[in-house]
Amino acid sequence: MKFNTKTIHGGQQPEPTTGAVMPPIFQTSTFAHAIPGEAQEYEYARGKNPTRTALENSLASLENGTHGFAFASGLAAIDCVLRLLKPGDQVIAGDDIYGGTYRMFTQLFQKYGLEFTYVNMNTVENVTKAITPKTKLVWLETPTNPLMKIADIANISSAVKSVNKEVLIAVDNTFATPYLQQPLNLGADIVMHSATKYLGGHSDLIMGALVVKEEKLAKDIHFIQFAAGAISGPMDSFLALRGIKTLHVRMQRHCENGKKVAQFLENHPKVGKVYYPGLESHPNYAIAKKQMKDFGGMVSFSLNENTKEATFKFLKSTKLFTLAESLGGVESLVNHPVTMSHASIPEKKRLKIGITAALIRLSVGIEAIEDLLADLEQALNI
């Protein structure tokens, strides 16, 4: 099946008892057992729920994996990946990642003895240089949140595996979605999503996802998901599955609008730096072009007047772009990383990699591009 068919049919069958084309919301915590002690497919809904199963099958199909897992949030999915490790293990992570991921690494898992090394993943060498005998996981986000850095998934995966094939490569694919890039095809072991974003697509749920292609890894993840319990509920699973059915058409428009917004900003006299992997001025444009089908709807930038005051004036002036955390919904949002999505990263660390108070992040929605550009123009001129 082509991707645009998989979003609708991948892993899906009509519900077996009624023929319902969409899986019903199985709002039940438990299932009647036929015989004591004899395992059956559905027993207790923390382990498995048919609505969640339908979603998990869809996720596996979209990412070209064999097993999908739906969690209570993106962070719950990341938490599950880290639980595959043990004290003393080292994780190599990108230096520009979602603030909540960084908070989990530094404030939760570091105290249980995991070691984290942060590197700029814009070159393969930066990653391989950080490998030690303790390295067990490489955590990639590409494009990164919020600086839109690009890491070469295929070359990093093969370089790391050639040093030690046991090291797991995990890719947070939230910004790209499987419509734009499929990390398992490029050599990664685990794909992670904040399904809250483009997969759900309508800003109406919080959810995380993992997809893998290897049986032992799937077994371990399923055990952690069941034992720790951070599953997605049936209603949210239904909503995410409904969202996924239009992922390809939404992404097409997100990409078209994202590119036009990035070009508009790059040519605007009041705008300073623009961060968008689809601009030829992006330092890793060639890698983005190689591994992504298109470049997505996330655009970051700063104003020429590089002050907090000017930035706040802009943030308060947009009308269609709503000032809010999150991204990936049909509506356009504007976010201020320093006070919102990346507030948990210490100032010194933020400034070192370029997340200044003047940075603005746009999640470009699928509205008419003329209205979006007009909104940005008026806000830039206030």
Residues known to be catalytic:
46, 98, 172, 197
Contact present, 221 and 36 (Cβ < 8 Å): no
| Cross-strand pairs, 69 | 210
Q: Which two tokens stand for residue 14?
A: 């009509």
Does the protein bind ligand P1T through residue 305 (CB under 6 A)? no
With binding defined as CB under 6 A, does residue 75 bind ligand P1T? yes
For Cα atoms 362, 368, 371, give the angle at the middle one, nearest 5 degrees.
70
Candidate residues 89, 256, 266, 325; the one interacting with ligand P1T per rule CB under 6 A? 325
208-236 burial code (b ≥16 CB/10 A, e <16): bbbbbbeeebbeebbebbeeeebbbbbeb
Minimum CB–partner distance for residue 341 and ligand P1T (Å): 4
Compute the distance between CA of residue 127 and CA of residue 157 in angstroms, rounded to an integer.
10
By CB under 6 A, is residue 183 in contact with ligand P1T? no
Q: Which of 91, 341, 345, 364 binds ligand P1T (CB under 6 A)?
A: 341
Asked whether position 327 contacts ligand P1T by CB under 6 A, the answer is: yes
Closest CA relative to residue 295, chosen from 338, 255, 352, 248 = 255
Q: Judged by CB under 6 A, which of 56, 63, 79, 141 binds ligand P1T?
A: 141
* Per-residue x/- track, 150-179, ligand P1T (CB under 6 A): ----------------------x-x-----
Q: Say which residues have a Cβ less than 8 Å from residue 154's Cβ, sequence separation at least 6.
A: 186, 187, 291
Q: Could you tell me how many residues of this chain bind ligand P1T (CB under 6 A)?
A: 19
Residue 369 and residue 255: Cα distance in Å, rounded?
A: 11
- The binding track of 355-374 with respect to ligand P1T, each residue x by CB under 6 A or -, is --------------------
The one-character DSSP state at 36 is T
Q: How far is CA 378 from the centre of its chain?
A: 31
| Residue 61 binding ligand P1T, by CB under 6 A | no
**Binding residue for ligand P1T (CB under 6 A) from 68, 94, 100, 296?**
100
To ligand P1T, the closest distance from the beta carbon of 162 in angstroms equals 27
Q: What are phi and psi of 323, to 5 degrees?
A: -75, 105
CB nearer ligand P1T, residue 65 or residue 74: 74
Q: Which of 7, 12, 90, 101 binds ligand P1T (CB under 6 A)?
A: 101
Nearest residue (CB) to ligand P1T, 149 versus 268: 149
Q: How far is the CB of 37 from ligand P1T (least distance, A)?
A: 37
Phi then psi for residue 315, to 5 deg, are -60, -30
Residue in the shown chain whose Cβ atom is closest to ligand P1T: 74
Question: Which of 50, 65, 68, 74 is the binder for ligand P1T (CB under 6 A)?
Answer: 74
Cα separation, 118 vs 263, in Å, equals 31
Binding site for ligand P1T (CB under 6 A): 73-75, 98, 100-101, 141, 145, 172, 174, 194, 196, 206, 208, 325-327, 335, 341
